[in-house]
Structure 1
Amino acid sequence: MDINFSDLHFLRPLWLLLTPFGALLPMLWRRSHDLQRRLRSNIAGHLLPHLLITPEDQQRLRPVHLVCALLILGAIAAAGPTWEQDRPDFLENRAPLIIAVDLSPSMDANDVQPSRLEAAKHKLHDLIQRRAGARNALIAYAGSAHLVLPATDDPALLDTFIQALSTDLIGKPGKDVGAVIEQAKRLLAAEKTPGTLLLLTDGADASQLDGLDKLLDGSALQVIILAVGSEDGGIIHDANGQPRTDSNGRPALGRFDQAALKQLGSKLDAPLGSLTLNDDDLDWIELHAQQHFQAASDEQRELHWKDAGYWLCWPLLLIAFFSVRKGWSLNWMAGWLLALGIGLQPAPAEANALTDAFFTPDQQGRWAFEHQHFPQAAAHFVDPYWKGIAAYNAADFDLALASFARLQTPQAYFYLGNIYVRRFKFDEAIAAYTQALKLQAQFPEATANLALAIALQKDTDSAAQNAPEVKPDEIKMDKAPGKGQSKPVETEQAASDEQWLQNLTTSPAKFLKQKFSLQDQAGGKP
């Protein structure tokens, strides 16, 4: 364990006032037990050495020396020595992340298997799972930029839209990074906190680079670029997996424009990384997002430091054990207090008598929630909102539904709507989102989810109305009664059910395609 002595300080320095007393204690004890000093006024000084018996083990270890060590070590431990900042995951992950995915046709190139876009979607799935509890937004862009989902802390909802992305959603060709930055700045203004824009792309439009740096002037937005692709490029495939061809019938190649990406990174002062097969790229993204968030908010954020005083409990306990010696008296009350202090060190939240005596159920639930023990947190929480949040994150939607149903807040109605959407109860979901917006008009997440629920309901109703009522063309019976069997033809009905499920699954993509098309026709206005 490396100690940076330049950062060494104490969290509770007033406890250090006990150390001089501990250091003086042996001298005070020796002075109080000095018989020569006490008898000097009654007996001549030259006779005292001959009248007093000096113990042979005068220099041996005595209880006062252990008490001195206990006081000094205990004071240092209580003062809280520290040299390392404490940045828990649940605090660092507060850094908002705006994800922008390039949907230009070149993202269908297969130089990264199965394709650049599919690899990027898989990587984003892993990223949002790691950032559980953090707020993430999603933008899709090509020749125009479109908001897919405002900042949300629901990874399942975000992943639904990520997996719906495809290169045919935006008809306008190009790579308009400037429009992406404008969208990201509007999102960040609503968050009122520093954030990071992550671009996943295979190139940039060199003709649009001029003036991009001015878009970031005075903004708390940081841009980082994750390049997707290889220098050799790859063949572009269509939705059916077939190679796309140009006018001459040759396979279309997806170019990886590394030079343009370097120019883009230089223009925006943006770090440039590349997609990897392991988690190094995810670590790289989180590192830059967290560092920017911490650097930009240091003036407002109180620093937290790791208290290393707990480690001194073990030598204190060892000294206490050495105090148990023949002929020595021990204050057992101090020993019990020391054992109690060690027992109260952070441990997994369990429902036992000791934790119940010192922590309320909501405090125990909060500890479990911050350490992502969501089932335990849901069991501990008494507050219905936090019980519902914990149950929702634990995928216990029955408990979450029961908890949120007790509340009349916009956030509770929002989560009720999310649960109803998961259960395909779109009427109830629409009602819940509508009620949330009545209570809180400025609620972007509820607005986006309401639009999604309405689109899903329309697609479901349309599929149900258009489903053919299949009847058997002909039922043939054997002439002999009792020997024949009637078998209705079920293959067409099964195909209809499969088509309905397919429509339901792909409806987010249809919704996005219609939305982007309407926005492009309206001049890019959301």
Structure 2
Amino acid sequence: MDIDFSAFHFLRPLWLLLIVPALLLPWAWLRRHDLKRQLKGLIAPHLIEPLLITPDDQQRLRPVHLLALLLGLGAVAAAGPTWTQDTPDFVDNRAPLILAIDLSPSMDADDVPPSRLSAAKHKLHDLIQRRAGARTALIAYAGGAHLVLPATEDPELLDTFLQALSTDLIGQAGKDVVGVIELARKLLDAEKMPGTLLLVTDGAAPEQFEEIPKRLSGSDLQVLVLAVGSQDGGVLLDAKGRPRITDDGQPLQATFDSQALKQLAQAADAPLGSLTLNDDDLDWITLHAQQHFQAVQGDEQQVHWKDAGYWLCWPLALIALFCVRRGWRVNWLGLLLIVMLSAPSQPARAGALADAFFTPDQQGRWAFEHGHFPQAAEHFHDPFWKGVAAYNAADYPAALASFARLDSALAHFYLGNIYVRLFKFPQAISAYQQALQKQADFPQAKANLALAQALLKDYEDQQEAGTPDEKADKVVEDQTPSQGGQQKQVSTPQAASDQLWLNNLTTSPAQFLKRKFMLQNAARQPAGGTQ
């Protein structure tokens, strides 16, 4: 365990005052057992020495010494020694990554079973779970590029929208990599840090090769190209996984242009990889992203110091065990233990033994570090870490209650994250803004504020695009991937409130994205095309 002594300090230094009585205890014991001092004034000084019989006691270690050691070492443990900063995972600045997935019709080919797009989504799902805690954004593109989600640390939210992607969401044909690069650069400008763009595609548009290097010039954006497909190509599938048939009754074939992919990688000065059955492609992506980030990264934000005092509980327990020795009189130590154990205690959490040696926060820390977040939330008394544990346990009401007691930048940041996960975007925006008022240099809060504002704008755009003569009830087509691609009709009231609209959004993210892309395309047309 390496200790940076320049950063070594105590979280609760007032506990160190207990070291004073720990040092005074042996002195007080020696003074109390000093026979010469006790006989002074009762017997003439010149007679004390001849009359005093001193027992030949070779024993140097006495109970009072162990008691003093227990008290002193316990004071150090309670003071919270620390030398390393402790940041929750999803505040960690690890290699920002922008995922751009091709939604052109050729991605429905079956040469990579069950289809190129399904295989790509499965691989990106694994990548998102591996990167839990790192900032990841999602872009979908075909003939136009569309932002699905700005950079977020929430893998579940990101995966929800990833699994909703399909080739029928974007009406324009093509492979607009230039538009993807423009969106990626805007995302990195908001992040104010370097990042990596991963293009997951089966081809490229040769007419863009000349423009791509110009759009990448002067940016900290690294591009990776992950090829999806085989040299033999495959049969195009429809939405139900059946082969598409040409007019003459033959299956419609999809090609795989490896030469175009090589030219795309060359134009973007990008490494070129391919989808694999194992995790080699994930290792390849992670390595390139981290190397690029480390080469040009800025300062990493640290937030909390890790309490290392609980490590001293083991030597304290060992010292207490040595106190139980035959022939030792430990009356006052026993009295002290009786008083401590008879004091009112909190409800049992991990057993009497754990309560005797560990504080609730120390038990919470142990549970948190071992991934037992619900138990950690029960143990913690510290409202910040109680909220973090409840957040990780997806107990959002408890997390909200804990963070609402705090008025720090990080507490408001967590509140914003919770509101986004609950699809309460106005509350999330307010929380992120309060976090930035407390701490102006907070890039994670700035990025998540942009995410919440973008999602709120999508909702407002849908409200503005709605026609006033819609029926009171409408049929929502559920295309959630967890339903295995099956469609089901769900009758819901027309969205007359924010909450109802949010309920519909969580039911069918695919419809939400399709409507969003349609509105974005409509807004781009007067400006003369795609980005």
TM-score by length of 1: 0.59
- Partner SS for 1:139: strand
Partner of 1:252: 252
Give the corresponding residue for 1:175.
175
8 A contact 2:373–2:392 mirrored in 1: yes
1:420 aligns with 2:422: yes
Report the equivalent of 2:331.
none
Return the alpha-carbon distance in structure 2 between the equivalents of residues 90 and 415 of structure 1: 10
- 1:398 deviates by 3.8
Q: Secondary structure at the match of 2:211?
A: coil
Deviation at 1:119, TM superposition (A): 1.0
Aligned to 1:399: 398
Distance 1:372 1:452, change over 3 A: farther
Aligned to 1:161: 161
Measure, in 2, the Cα distance between the counterparts of 1:366 and 1:448: 36
1:159-187 CA-partner distances (Å, limit 9, x unpaired): 11101101111111111111111111110
Q: Is the 8 A contact 1:175 1:204 kept in 2?
A: yes
**Equivalent residue of 2:146, what SS?**
strand
Change (3 A) 1:366 1:117: farther
Alignment match, 1:448: 454
- C-alpha distance in 2 between matches for 1:456 and 1:172: 20
Percent identity reads 59
Deviations 1:19-71, CA, capped at 9 Å, x for gaps: xxxxxxxxxxxxxxxxxxxxxxxxxxxxxxxxxxxxxxxxxxxxxxxxxxxxx
CA contact (8 A) 2:93 2:300 kept: no
1:347-406 Cα shifts (integer Å, max 9, x gaps): xxx9666665xxx93x88678767755445534554545433332222233422433444
Change (3 A) 1:90 1:411: closer
Change (3 A) 1:399 1:288: same
Shift of 1:415: 3.4
Q: Cα deviations across residues 245-290 of structure 1 (Å, max 9, x unaligned)?
A: 3454432222111111111112222111111112221111111111
- Whether contact under 8 Å (1:265, 1:271) holds in the other structure is yes
* Amino acid paired to 1:378: A
Counterpart-to-counterpart distance in 2, 1:106 and 1:505? 28
**CA-CA distance at 1:455 after TM superposition:** 8.8
Shift of 1:508: 1.5
Aligned partners of 1:171 and 1:522: how far apart in 2? 14
Quickly say closer, same or farther: Cα 1:274–1:367, change in 2 above 3 A: farther
Shift of 1:517: 1.6
Partner of 2:518: 517
376-385 or 138-147, which moves further after superposition?
Answer: 376-385
**Which deviations, in whole Å up to 9, do the C-alpha atoms of 1:141-166 show, x marking residues without a partner?**
11111111000111111111101101
Structure 2 partner of 1:293 = 293
> Which amino acid counterpart does residue 432 of structure 1 have in structure 2?
Q
For the residue of structure 2 that corresponds to 1:238, the secondary structure is coil
Partner of 2:473: 466
Distance 1:246 1:147, change over 3 A: same
What does 1:43-62 correspond to in 2, within 5 Å?
none
In structure 2, relative to structure 1, the CA distance for the partners of 1:267 and 1:12 (3 Å cut) is same
Name the structure 2 match of 1:334.
none
Tell me the CA shift for residue 410 of structure 1: 4.9
Indicate if the aligned counterparts of 1:236 and 1:252 stay in contact, CA closer than 8 A: yes
Q: Is contact 1:95-1:293 (8 Å) kept?
A: yes
**Who wins on radius of gyration, i.e. which is larger?**
1
Which 10-residue stretch deviates more, 514-523 or 240-249?
240-249
Q: Are the aligned partners of 1:404 and 1:416 in contact in 2 as well (CA < 8 Å)?
A: no
- 1: CA distance between counterparts of 2:382 and 2:471? 41
Change (3 A) 1:192 1:372: farther
| Secondary structure of the structure 1 residue equivalent to 2:112 | coil
Q: Within 5 Å, give how 1:72-471 maps onto structure 2.
A: 94-297=94-297, 300=299, 356=359, 361=361, 374-375=373-374, 377-379=376-378, 381-406=380-405, 410-421=412-423, 429=424, 432-433=427-428, 435-436=430-431, 439=434, 443-451=449-457, 465-466=472-473
Q: CA distance change for structure 1 residues 151 and 269 in 2, over 3 Å: closer, same or farther?
A: same
Change (3 A) 1:190 1:412: same
Contact 1:455–1:507 at 8 Å: present in 2 too?
A: no
Distance, in Å, in 1 between the alignment partners of 2:194 and 2:282 is 20
CA contact (8 A) 1:464 1:500 kept: no
Kindly indicate whether the alpha-carbon contact (under 8 Å) linking 1:226 and 1:272 is maintained by their aligned counterparts in 2.
Answer: yes
Deviation at 1:416, TM superposition (A): 4.0
Task: Call closer, same or farther: CA 1:219–1:377 in 2, change over 3 Å.
Answer: farther
Distance 2:124 2:263 in 1: 24
Distance, in Å, in 1 between the alignment partners of 2:398 and 2:213 is 49
Q: Which amino acid aligns with 1:411?
A: F
In the aligned structure 2, how far is the partner of 1:177 from the partner of 1:102? 9
Kept in 2, the 8 Å contact 1:245–1:251? The answer is yes
2: distance between equivalents of 1:10 and 1:405? 35
Cα shift at 1:291: 1.3
The residue type paired with residue 444 of structure 1 is: A
Distance in 1 (CA, whole Å) between partners of 2:356 and 2:198 is 47
Q: Provide the rounded CA distance (Å) in 2 between the counterparts of 1:211 and 1:370.
A: 48
* Residue 64 (structure 2) aligns with: none
Structure 1 stretches lacking a partner, 5+ long: 1-8, 14-87, 303-349, 422-428, 469-494
Is residue 91–residue 133 contact of structure 2 (8 Å, CA) maintained in 1? no
Contact 2:462–2:515, Cα closer than 8 Å, also in 1? no
Superposed, 1:487-526 pairs within 5 Å as 498=490, 507-523=508-524
Change (3 A) 1:161 1:143: same
Residues 202 and 416 of structure 1: CA distance in aligned 2, closer, same or farther (over 3 Å)? same
Q: Give the equivalent residue in structure 2 for 1:321.
A: none
What RMSD, in angstroms, separates the aligned Cα atoms of the two structures? 4.1
SS in 1 for 2:140: strand
Q: Give 3-state SS (helix, strand or coil) of 2:150's partner.
A: strand
Read off the aligned partner of 2:387 and give its amino acid letter.
Answer: G
Conservation of the 8 A alpha-carbon contact between 2:178 and 2:212: yes
Change (3 A) 1:144 1:525: closer
Task: Please say which of residues 500-509 and 250-259 is displaced more in the overlay.
Answer: 500-509
How big is the shift at 1:136? 0.5
Query: Cα distance 1:419–1:178, how it changes in 2: closer, same or farther (>3 A)?
Result: closer
Q: Note closer, same or farther for the CA distance 1:228–1:500 as it changes in structure 2 (3 Å cut).
A: farther
Match of 1:306 in 2: none
Supply the distance in 1 between the matched residues of 2:3 and 2:506 (Cα, whole angstroms): 57
Shift of 1:450: 3.1
Q: Distance in 1 between matches of 2:221 and 2:429?
A: 32
TM-score normalized by the length of structure 2? 0.58
* Range with greater deviation from structure 2 (288-297 or 211-220): 211-220
CA pair 497-263 structure 1, distance change in 2 beyond 3 A:
closer
1:302-351 superposed Cα distances (whole Å, 9 cap, x missing partner): 9xxxxxxxxxxxxxxxxxxxxxxxxxxxxxxxxxxxxxxxxxxxxxxx96
